[in-house]
């Protein structure tokens, strides 16, 4: 084996094929294949045939009009959006826009290279090149000058510099001279990405310790379009059940059953909305999957039914380790069906984890996934619809699984080195497919700690065992923003921190920030203080209720965004780099932590100890969400912050559907859809979507969908005619006109009177102490113009002058 760097050589032969070409460069096999007009796959191998990576990519090459040319020194492929030039000697690849501007190019000296089995692609670096994404990675928004490994790891108590973490998504977005592109390395061996660090910015590179070079180059006119093209490649999320977007309460652990009943009763008695209560590992008998402890939970079915009657779903934790205890049914059936991973000599791998010595299901095999899916019937027969997949890196005591352990890898028979990064991905796939099989027409909810690119097709993601602290609160926000840019649109973090104990101010601020996150869950570790919304005193309880109420008011908007994510892959939480990537201000300071919910609500996380915070508003006009104060964007602001105050802004042109407060997503609203419109001279639009929130009937057309368009030039707001077979859950439409100076309004050609109304989006906090400790905020929007009309299925056109 040659361990000296060996760069790919001169192209000695090639053959044109549909959508591209393949050939030999020296003794290396290569191929370039267009998958659509914006995506080109690059493969290079030491072997006579290319390796197959079956799990992430679901797109097959589309019939694409490619203009293929051979010139003396190069081969060229041109689509309507992307041009690829391949220099023949030595082989080097350059990607260009349709106008001939360079997007990305191989380093001229090294290009595609090997060191033994390790394959690397060195890329030239432009002076202003920016790198975004990579998913669950700490650090700053711009990855330039950083490097990362992809090797799924149990990273208990991680910090901003910990790498790798639990999840691997080897996909990044580059922006070169203002033009974005994406690269996804579909190789499941341990991989490494270097964005110009430790080499004086000579080059960037990505490598895998074995296997083929197998990457997909993506062209997009915007960062958002690159994300959408990547979603075509690896899939979008399932439309989640609506209850999974509500508030969720967890700890390690709630037991016995009367403690769970008490938690549920307290939420309802205190009128704090919530949808989900979790059961961590103490619900199981001796921590064994597919069991309930008979003493702690003597009647789990009755518990689940009681909570269901109160509007709660129960989610249970699932770990991959199966205790090696004869007589334990799951273990016996696993042995009988031969689904556990093995050493090369055929003996089953065994390691210690929560239930003691355990075997591990081979989720990379169809047989293993099918077996797990059948085992899941134990839970679904009890009425469970939510499943939390943990410890699935896989984790075990000692954290050092021998690399020789063998996995099926969909028939390829490979080692732990190739299978580890997809293990958690395939576990939650098995869980989702099992729940889907057992629940029939109901939508299950699955959550995972570990995964790989494509995991979004099966699961939401949370960012693992974080720590109580302001730095972790902000780190969690950045991780979720980055996961969104890596194709995982529904993600979140443990509010309040899992490790250690949060204080009142931190918990209040963390929960306020998380109100706008896709996955909204409090979770805390064993042997720490209680961490329910009422556990930090009366003042924090009110603040928590205010923000949780706001979450439920925003549910029509959030659910519409979840449908958009399902449709096109755009994340619910969007780093400012999604829409403002050419604004250099977003790559420094606190702007790196900021995000928008959809495209309209800007959230500026601030730490719990700050009395004043410096925030950044991107270009455009912005309305303070709680006061309607209008601020010009493109500038930094210093704002005062208090425990109950979070800087949130609605962009001019925003269209935000809301409802009244409910205690659970299963509770019917009051029948009035509240549509908040923020005046702008620009045109804007927002998709509005409803369905039953729990079944797959929407796939048969049982949904309610409208496009809402604001035209600032013609002074019109149009709700398109209803699409879909389902009627709306709302009968009336109330339009809140923020920033509108007009005094004359028409609805469908008929003059209507507006009504002035004072509103609050969050309530003031009570002064509990007779000696006030600080001045409380009393946010109110006064004299807001409102219009009311029947929510008809036909087009609704509102005009003003």
Please state the length of the chain.
Answer: 801
Residues of the chain predicted below pLDDT 50:
none
Per-residue pLDDT at 774: 76
Q: What is d(CA 332, CA 569) in angstroms, rounded to the nearest whole number?
A: 41
Strand 595-597 with 621-624, pairing: unpaired
pLDDT in tens, 310-333: 999 999 999 999 999 999 999 999
- 604 φ, ψ to 5°? -115, 90
Per-residue model confidence (pLDDT) at position 377: 98
Catalytic residues: 390, 393, 465
Task: List, in sequence order, every residue forming a beta bridge with 240; answer none if it has no partner.
Answer: none
For CA atoms 697, 699, 700, 702, the dihedral sign is: positive
* 233-281: pLDDT as tens digits: 999 999 999 999 999 999 999 999 999 999 999 999 999 999 999 999 9
pLDDT value of position 3: 80
Place of tokens 């208990």: 156
Cβ distance 511 to 495 under 8 Å? yes
HSE-CB for 69 with a 13 A CA cutoff: 11
Residues 6 or more apart in contact with residue 71 via CB below 8 angstroms = none
Q: Tens digits of per-residue pLDDT, 655-669?
A: 999 999 999 999 999
> Residue 756: its pLDDT value, please?
98
**CB atoms < 10 A from the CB of 94, how many?**
18
Average pLDDT, the chain: 97
- The SS3 of residue 57 is coil
Residue 252 vs residues 280, 316, 321: alpha-carbon distances, Å: 5, 11, 18
Place of tokens 């920033």: 739
Q: What is the pLDDT of residue 1?
A: 64
């Amino acid at each position: 084996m040659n361990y000296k760097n060996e760069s790919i050589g001169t192209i000695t032969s090639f053959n044109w094929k549909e959508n591209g070409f393949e050939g030999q460069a020296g003794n290396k096999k290569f191929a370039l294949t267009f998958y659509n007009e914006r995506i080109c796959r690059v493969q290079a191998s030491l072997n006579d045939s290319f390796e197959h990576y079956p799990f992430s990519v679901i797109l097959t090459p589309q019939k694409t009009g490619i203009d293929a040319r051979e010139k003396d020194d190069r081969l060229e492929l041109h689509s309507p959006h992307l041009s690829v030039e391949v220099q023949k000697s030595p082989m080097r690849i350059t990607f260009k826009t349709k106008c001939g501007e360079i997007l990305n190019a191989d380093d001229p000296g090294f290009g595609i290279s090997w060191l033994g089995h390790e394959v690397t692609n060195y890329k030239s670096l432009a002076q202003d090149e920016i790198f975004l994404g990579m998913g669950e990675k700490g650090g700053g928004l711009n990855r330039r000058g950083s490097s990362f490994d992809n090797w799924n790891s149990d990273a208990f108590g991680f910090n901003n510099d910990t790498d790798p973490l639990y999840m691997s998504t080897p996909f990044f977005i580059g922006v070169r001279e203002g033009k974005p592109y994406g690269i996804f390395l579909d190789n499941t061996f341990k991989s490494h990405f270097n964005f110009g660090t430790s080499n004086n910015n000579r080059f960037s590179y990505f490598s895998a310790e074995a296997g083929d070079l197998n990457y997909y180059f993506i062209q997009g006119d915007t960062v958002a379009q690159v994300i959408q093209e990547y979603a075509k490649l690896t899939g979008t999320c399932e439309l989640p059940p609506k209850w999974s977007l509500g508030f969720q309460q967890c700890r390690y652990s709630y037991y016995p059953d009367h403690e769970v009943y008490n938690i549920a009763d307290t939420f309802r008695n205190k009128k704090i909305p919530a949808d989900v209560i979790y059961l961590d590992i103490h619900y199981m008998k001796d921590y064994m999957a597919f069991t309930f402890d008979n003493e702690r939970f003597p009647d789990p079915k009755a518990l689940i039914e009681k909570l269901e009657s109160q509007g709660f779903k129960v989610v249970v934790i699932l770990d991959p380790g199966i205790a090696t205890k004869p007589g334990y049914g799951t273990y016996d059936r696993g042995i009988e069906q031969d689904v556990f991973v093995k050493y090369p000599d055929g003996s089953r791998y065994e390691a210690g984890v929560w239930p003691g010595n355990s075997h591990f299901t081979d989720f990379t095999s169809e047989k293993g996934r099918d077996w797990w899916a059948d085992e899941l019937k134990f839970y679904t027969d009890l009425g469970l619809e939510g499943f939390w997949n943990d410890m699935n890196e896989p984790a075990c005591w000692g954290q050092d699984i021998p690399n020789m352990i063998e996995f099926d890898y969909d028939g390829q028979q490979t080692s732990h080195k190739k299978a580890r990064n997809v293990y958690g991905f395939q576990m939650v796939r098995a869980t989702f497919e099992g729940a889907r099989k057992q629940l029939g027409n109901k939508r299950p909810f699955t959550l995972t700690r570990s995964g790989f690119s494509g995991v979004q097709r099966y699961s939401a993601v949370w960012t693992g065992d974080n720590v109580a602290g302001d730095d972790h609160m902000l780190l969690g926000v950045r991780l979720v923003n980055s996961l969104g840019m890596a194709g995982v649109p529904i993600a979140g973090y443990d509010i309040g921190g899992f490790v250690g104990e949060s204080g009142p101010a931190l918990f209040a601020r963390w929960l306020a920030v998380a109100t706008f996150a896709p996955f909204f869950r409090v979770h805390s570790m064993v042997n720490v203080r209680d961490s329910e919304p009422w556990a930090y005193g009366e003042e924090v309880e009110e603040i928590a209720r205010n923000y949780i109420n706001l979450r439920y008011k925003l549910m029509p908007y959030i659910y519409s965004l979840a449908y958009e994510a399902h449709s096109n892959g755009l994340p619910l939480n969007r780093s400012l780099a999604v829409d403002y990537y050419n604004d250099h201000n977003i790559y420094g300071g606190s702007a790196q932590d900021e995000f928008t919910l959809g495209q309209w609500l800007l959230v500026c996380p601030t730490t719990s100890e700050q009395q004043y915070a410096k925030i950044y508003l991107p270009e455009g006009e912005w309305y303070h969400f709680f006061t309607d104060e209008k601020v010009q964007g493109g500038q930094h602001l210093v704002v005062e912050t208090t425990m109950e105050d979070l800087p949130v802004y609605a962009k001019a042109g925003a269209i935000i559907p809301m409802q009244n407060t409910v205690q659970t997503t299963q509770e019917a609203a009051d029948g009035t859809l509240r549509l908040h419109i923020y005046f702008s001279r620009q045109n804007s639009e927002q998709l509005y979507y409803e369905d039953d929130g729990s079944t797959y009937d929407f796939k048969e057309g049982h949904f309610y969908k409208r496009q809402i368009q604001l035209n600032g030039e013609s002074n019109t707001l149009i709700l398109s005619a209803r699409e879909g077979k389902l009627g709306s859950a709302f009968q009336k439409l109330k339009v809140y006109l923020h920033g509108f100076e007009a005094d004359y309004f028409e609805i469908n050609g008929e003059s209507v009177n507006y009504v002035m109304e004072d509103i609050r989006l969050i309530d003031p906090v009570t002064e509990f102490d007779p000696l006030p400790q600080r001045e409380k905020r009393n946010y109110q929007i006064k004299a807001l113009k409102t219009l009311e009309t029947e929510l008809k299925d036909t087009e609704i056109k509102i005009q003003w002058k």
